[in-house]
Every structure is written in C-alpha cells, then in structure tokens.
Amino acid sequence: MFGFIVAALLAEFALNLIHYPFLWLLPPCFYLLERFPPGDFLWVRQFLQISDGASPLGRAKMLEGCLPGAGLSFAAVPSVPAFDLPHATFKRLLQNYLGIVGHRLPHTHHCGGSHVVQLDGDNSHHIQVCPMLGRGKLAHDELKNSLAHALLACGVASEVRTEVRLSARGEDGVGLTYNGDLVYFLPDGRRVLLECSRLTITQSSIAGSGSLAGPSSVLNLLRIAENARRDHARASAIVENDEGNTLFIPIVLTSCGGFGPSARAFLKEVFKTAQANGRWAMASGQPEVLTTWNTFYASTYWNMRLSVAGAVMDAHVQNDILLRDRTRNLVVVGRQPHPNPNHSSYSSVGRPRRGVTAAPLGVV
Ligand SMILES: [Zn+2]
C-alpha cells in the first residue's frame, strides 16, 4: 500500500516536471532558504552598515561580540548559584560588553597608594583594566578554577592541579621555574599545561593592531596573545625539556567571555571526552553540577560557565573599584574641607559622626 502511494506521488511529480520544467528548482531553493535564511543576510548587512560608521573601539567591540562564547552571561538563567549575579554586576557586565564607560566623566580615580588620576578622554575606560583590588587576578582565578571543575566533571582527568611550579633548564643551562595555571595528565602519561589569560578590548589594546583592517582583527588579537604565551621563554623551556611529553595550551578569553581559537579547539576535545565518558548530558552524566534549562549538555553548560566566570568577576570588582573611588572622593573622608563653610571640627556639633556622609564640595 505504502509503495503504491510513493509510486503515485513520484508519477505525479514526473508529470508535473513535464508540464512545469522549472519545478526541479524548488527543492534546492527550499534547502538554500533553510540553510541561509534571508534574515541572516539582512542582519549581516545591518551589522556592516553600523560597524562602518562606528569608532575603531566600537567596531572592535562589535567583532568581539561575534566571537564564540562572547556575551553568554546574558543568556545565563539565574536559577543556580553559578549564574546568579547581582543587578549592579549585570549592569556593569552590559557596559563592558557594549564598550560604555559606565560612570560620569571626568572621574577622580584612586589608583593605588596616593596615586590619583582624572579619568577623561583617552583613559576613560581605565576602570576596565585597572589593577586595583586584584581585579585581573580575581577574574583570572575564577576562570582557572571553573576550567579545573570542567575538566574534572567531564572526566578528562581524575586530578587537576592549579598553580603548579614546574622547573626546567633554560638555554643557558641555568635552572628556571614556571608557574603553570592548570596541570593534569592524560591517560597516555603526557602532561598537559594550561595557561589561562584574559584579553580586554580597549582603546589601548586595539591601538596599532589594525582593527580597521577586517572582520578577523579581534580574532588576530587573540591569536597574538596565544602565541605570546607559547613563545614565553620559560614556558617553551618547560615544553622542550620534557621532550614532547608536555602539551602547552594557551586558553585566552576576551573580557566578555569570547573564546580564542586555541581555547575553542581545546574545549571541543574536552566535550568529545565527555561524550565518550557518558558525561554529555548534565543531569545524568554530571549530577553534582547544578544546571539550568538552557544548559542541558556539557558543551552548553561549560561554555556558558567559562564565559561567565571571568567576565562576571571582572565586572564585580570594577564595581568595587568605583565604589572605593566614590568613598574616597567623599568630603568627610581624606582630609578634604567640609562643604559647609561654617563647619569647625573642634566644636561639639561639628565633629563628624560615623555613618554621616556629605556631598562633595561644590555639589549641592
Ligand atoms: Zn586604576
């Protein structure tokens, strides 16, 4: 019966082909429309139009947003602790992603010790790269620790060690040491050394990088950063001394969570291992990890988790730096004059009380 229906349909199709000779064009057209929806073309055209008129930094931020993994924090469902972030952090995250300064300019910034700088103009984005309060290290460590969890949970290694001091003999015969971010061993006995780092796309990082050059300029910045890690004298000495038994893999992410080519290729292998180990589906394979409805699989969950980790921690500390600036800029702190000209510190009513805050001088 079924064979008869198929034969009838085929016969009808053949008859139609005779009457309408261009009918055979329909299936490839449907295929092409599905494969390349017109909406995508419109989107690309719009993207190019906007990026043509954007500033070099704006264009670089648009390209950064196209990287795999970039901005996944905005798709994170805050129903598990790993993706639960305060509103202020989310706001700062969005400002970083869009390349917006996010605070009033000019801004008096306290950058370590008694060093005070006025942020305006070229240094407006300084908070995104400020070393205060351990911003860079905290974000880096968050990424590194999340990656260690990813490797363990996906069954890549039974043990993953962080901050491992490795020693080797340099070219001049003198011993040297290198602090590896993550070290683990493959089943065949080879050692894997991962070096995590983050790249912030700012006015200064794109300066001279040819970000006007083409759509792969941000990707090239990531490649340059990866090669710089590989060519590091101490890292290459460690690899060479081990006679090919150590694999050095640079994991470079942008500050918005976009993966560099090396990180992407590495994670692909990690997810393949997860599949082979029966750890692909999060609920059954990695039950100890709390997942959300849009991260059912190892790849979706850990891509999002790694993208979120550094970006959110960075945004969190940037808010702390801004809060610290505002506190230090308060009149009652830091030996600044009181805004009230009748104020005297020696009078009984004029003594500052704890918890009292005043507007900065000149602000009513
Ligand atoms: Zn600073």
> pLDDT at residue 124 above 50?
yes
Ligand 1 mean position to 57 CA, how many Å?
20
Ligand 1 mean position to 147 CA, how many Å?
28
CA–centroid distance for 131 within its chain: 18
Residue 333 is predicted with a pLDDT of 44
Ligand 1 mean position to 322 CA, how many Å?
10
Ligand 1 mean position to 127 CA, how many Å?
6
Residue range 71-93: mean pLDDT, rounded: 92
The pLDDT mean for the chain works out to 84
> pLDDT at residue 201 above 80?
yes
Model confidence band, residue 348 (pLDDT cutoffs 50, 70, 90): low
Ligand 1 mean position to 131 CA, how many Å?
6
Percent of the chain past pLDDT 70, that is, above it, reads: 88
Ligand 1 mean position to 83 CA, how many Å?
28
Ligand 1 mean position to 107 CA, how many Å?
11
Residue 121 is predicted with a pLDDT of 81
Ligand 1 mean position to 307 CA, how many Å?
24
Ranking 112-126, 188-202, 266-280 by mean pLDDT, the lowest is 112-126
Residue 209 is predicted with a pLDDT of 61
Ligand 1 mean position to 130 CA, how many Å?
4
* CB contact burial 87-107 (16+ within 10 A = b; e otherwise): eebbebbbbbbebeebbeeeb
Residue 16 contacts by C-beta under 8 Å, 6 or more apart in sequence?
23
> pLDDT at residue 364 above 50?
no
- At how many degrees (to 10) do helices 56-65 and 87-98 cross? 120
Ligand 1 mean position to 120 CA, how many Å?
13
Residue with tokens 């264009």: 59
Joined together, the tokens standing for residue 46 give 């719009």
Ligand 1 mean position to 110 CA, how many Å?
6
